[in-house]
Amino acid sequence: MKTVMVTARVNPDLKTSTEKILRELGISTTEAINMFFTQINLRQGIPFPVEIPNEETAQALDDSLAGIDMHRVISVEQLRQELLS
């Protein structure tokens, strides 16, 4: 299959943190982009809601970005254990 190069500018911190998550999932950045593009084609649109959050959601997003009332875990396994207990 022939391929083409896609070039995009993203925030370096976002790229680093996203690539870490993708590594944990065993997915390359290229595979993730291909999955995203495939879903856009299958759904004929963005595969998740794109909307302006209500006030409560906007505040929760702002709080999470500021680290307010966050519960941190160090692994997906720890998160699973805590959610199941």
pTM here? 0.61
Taking CA atoms, 38 is separated from 21, 69, 70, 74, 82, in Å, by: 20, 36, 34, 31, 34
Rounded Cα–Cα distance for residues 58 and 52 (Å): 8
Domain boundaries, the chain: 12-84
Element (H, E) at 14: helix 12-25
Report pLDDT digits (tens) over 3-53. Answer: 999 999 999 999 999 999 999 999 999 999 999 999 999 999 999 998 898
Would the pLDDT of 69 be above 90? Answer: no
Least confident of 25-29, 53-57, 68-72: 68-72
| Model confidence band, residue 71 (pLDDT cutoffs 50, 70, 90) | confident
